[in-house]
Amino acid sequence: MNLLRVCVWRDWLVMRTRTPALLFDLFAVLMTAVVFYYLAQYLDRGQDFFPFVLAGLTIVRIHGAVPRVLASSTARIADGSLEVLMSGRARPAVVFLSEGAFELARGMVLAIGVLLVGVGVFGADVTLTAPGLAAVAVGLVGATLILLALSTALLALLMVLREAGAVGSFSGVLLPILGGVYFPLTILPAPLESIARVLPFHVPVDVIRSGLTAGVFPTTQVAVLAGACAASLAIAALLARPAVQHARRAGRLALE
C-alpha cells in the first residue's frame, strides 16, 4: 500500500505542474454534458434520455483515465523507470495498480463533475434522495475499482504485446457497447447481451442509474458490484505476474 500511496502522491505532484491539461479536462466535462443534453433534445425524449445517459457518462469519464494510464506507462517503459519500479520488492500487480490509481481517482472526480454539471447546469430530471445519492457514491467507487482492474489487466497485456495503441483501442470499444452506457443491454443481440452480462462494466452503471433515476439504494445490485470489483481486481492481479515474467524472459521489461 505504501507504493500505491507514493505513486498517487507522485502523480498528484505531476498534475499540479500541468495546469493547462487540467483546464482542458474540466472543459471536456462541460462539453460531455452539452453534447448529450442537446442530443437528448434532438431525440425529443429530453427528460428520459438525458438522466438515463448521465449515469453512463460518469463511467465513460472514469474510463477516460484508462488510455492515459496506458500512455504514461508506455512512456515509463520507454524511459526505463517502470523497470526500476518492477525491480523492487513490490509485486507486479501492485506496481500496475499504483501506476493507474491516481488517474482513475482523478477520473472519478471528473465523473462527479459530469453529474454536477448535468444536474446543476442542464437540469437533468433526477431523483435526489439520500439512498439514491449513496447508490451513486457506491457506484462511482465500484466503477473506479473495476476500471482500475481493467487498466491493470491492459498493462499486463501491454507487457506482452507492446502495442499500446491497439490495446487502448480495444479497451475503448468495450465499454460503450458492453457497458450499457448509451442504451440498455436488452436491445443488444442475444450473444452480445450474454457477453455484456458476464462482464462487470454494466454493474456500476446499473447501480448509479438506479440511484439517479429511481432514488433508491439497490442492495442486490450493490452486492453484485462488490463481487464484481473483487473478482476483477483478483483476475487483473493474477495476469500481472506471468506478463512481467514473460517480459523478463524476452528482455522487454524496458525498451532498449
Query: Where do contacts with another protein occur on this chain (CB under 8 A)?
Result: 2-3, 5-7, 9-10, 13-14, 17-18, 79-81, 83-91, 95, 245, 248-249, 251, 253-254
Nearest to 83 by CA among 254, 231, 255, 256: 254
* Sequence-separated (6 or more) residues with CB below 8 Å from residue 254: 77, 78, 80, 82, 83
Nearer to another protein, 45 or 241 (CB): 241
Sequence letter at residue 120: G
Nearer to another protein, 141 or 254 (CB): 254
Q: How many CB atoms lie within 10 A of CB 74?
A: 20
- For the CB of residue 87, give the shortest distance to another protein in the complex, in Å: 6
Using DSSP's 3-state secondary structure scheme, residue 112 falls into: helix
Nearer to another protein, 48 or 79 (CB): 79
Nearer to another protein, 81 or 194 (CB): 81
Helix axis angle for 130-161 and 46-63, nearest 10°, is: 40
Measured CA to CA, the distance from residue 25 to residue 29 in angstroms comes to 6
- For the CB of residue 66, give the shortest distance to another protein in the complex, in Å: 20
Question: Is residue 95 within 8 Å of 86, Cβ to Cβ?
Answer: yes
∠ at Cα 172 (210, 35), nearest 5°?
Answer: 60
Nearer to another protein, 72 or 129 (CB): 72
- For the CB of residue 95, give the shortest distance to another protein in the complex, in Å: 7
Nearer to another protein, 103 or 206 (CB): 103
- For the CB of residue 90, give the shortest distance to another protein in the complex, in Å: 6
- For the CB of residue 156, give the shortest distance to another protein in the complex, in Å: 17
- For the CB of residue 48, give the shortest distance to another protein in the complex, in Å: 45
